[in-house]
Amino acid sequence: MDDLISWLNSYATQSIFIATALLALLESLAFVGILVPGVAILATISWLAGQQALSLPLLLLSGFLGAVAGDWISYILGRYASHWIASLKLMQRHPNWIAEGERFFARYGGRSIFLGRFIGPIRAVIPFIAGSCAMPPTRFLVFNLLSAAFWAPVYLIPAYWLGQQAEELKMGWNIWLQLGALVVFIGVLFHAIHHQLAPGKHVYRLLHPFATGAKDLLRTYVFIVLTALLLILCITLRQLTGVSPLELEVYNQLHPPPEYLQVYAVFVTLLGDGIYLIVGSLLTAILITVHTQVRTAVTFMLLMLGVSLLNVVIKHSLGWPRPELGQLLYGSDSFPSGHASSAATLLASWAVLFAHGCSATLKRRIYLAFMLPIVSVALSRVILGVHWPLDVIAGLAEGLLFAAILRWHLGRSEQAPLPTAFQRWLGMGILLLTLGYAVLKGTAALSFYTQ
């Protein structure tokens, strides 16, 4: 029996190295790597290897060999079967796969073998293009070996180390790490959804019949529906369950916060103060009007007013009390958070105005950049003890819903993108307003929230 157990353990160990090599091969294999989530699976396998204290050199060697083999097979396919593969129905449905690879290869030449190894979908295309362009085998092999030698440690060592530190990380897996992981997950999820709703993607083709004529607005329609459903869900949960045990546990774990986080929360929460919101809204509306888009300026101001009115209506309808500290500082009800909803509307509207007319990739980057302050304002209300967690989630949903309506207005009315001068002046105005308000109100806010 002991011999059997020993053999099974040995087989399990060997299987991890074999799986690493196989997945590295598939991740690098022509066009297969685009469809296989190899990086995510490799990270999981590396984590398991680290947790079981398996040999790191063997793990790296497995990944290296698999990556070299995958690129070499792709090169051979490109050199001897490029016309046949290009004629396949799958390739005809996705002509951009080869086109993007050819542009990348034309720009960087041999270096594209090395660089492409670290760039998502390009990784599985460049070796095929190199073969189809008759790149000398010896030259390709040099770039192949060098890139794989760098790729294996970069992609495998971090997850392996996390596996080694699993127990220590588990002990330190407190609420702050959980919240950080949640924010990262939301960002990645948003990026993935936004990408999949691009024209030509599977989800886009699936949903587009429900938004006939929407053209570039399908993402906006989906986002409006999702945020509206989230707001309705939050209202329903508050009515049915009140403050749930889970919500109370999260709130209690956040208190008392570390001093530096409390100071950060005080300054971030200023972005949801009434004066900041009014000045920021007027500044934005004036700049939009100056650039002759009066309808957009009026729509923006109506949305800022609308989110405030809706917030007041829901607050008075539910009448849910704040946490104990919040009751000492404020006389208004708790649900939903007015700071979170109004700040989300203003900041997300700024993101919409900056992103309007940009490419899908640049839009995602702008939206993700604004996500940090939007989420920070919401989280600050819980850290400061003036709102329950569900209050700020509902506030976020409410604010993002109204910002999405502004995005719908810009797309529906086919408004031209605002000029670079508008973006420059708005950016300067936001920076000066934020810094000036922090200087003027920061000390008083610290005294108010830490009394």
**SS3 per-residue string spanning 171-192:** HCCCHHHHHHHHHHHHHHHHHH
Q: If you search the block for the tokens 């080869």, which residue do you land on?
A: 98
Tokens coding 139:
């030259």
- Token pair of 265 as six digits: 């929360």
Separation of alpha carbons 351 and 333, rounded Å? 29
What phi and psi, each to the nearest 5 degrees, are found at residue 28? -100, -10
Neighbours of 308 (CB within 10 A): 17
Q: How far is CA 292 from the centre of its chain?
A: 33
What are the pLDDT tens digits along the chain (451 aa)?
A: 344 334 434 545 677 888 888 888 888 787 676 666 667 788 888 888 887 878 888 889 998 998 899 888 888 888 887 677 766 766 666 666 677 777 777 777 777 777 777 776 677 778 888 887 878 888 888 888 988 888 888 888 888 887 776 655 554 455 666 666 666 666 666 666 666 666 666 556 655 555 544 456 777 888 888 889 889 988 998 888 888 887 888 888 887 877 878 888 899 999 999 999 999 999 999 999 987 778 889 999 999 999 999 999 999 888 888 888 777 878 888 889 999 999 999 999 999 998 887 777 788 788 888 988 999 999 999 988 889 888 999 999 999 999 999 988 888 876 777 778 888 898 899 999 999 999 999 889 888 887 6
Instruction: Tell me which residue of 234, 450, 446 sits closest to 334, measured CA to CA.
Output: 234
**Helix/strand/coil percentages in the chain, nearest 5:** 85, 0, 15
pTM of structure: 0.62
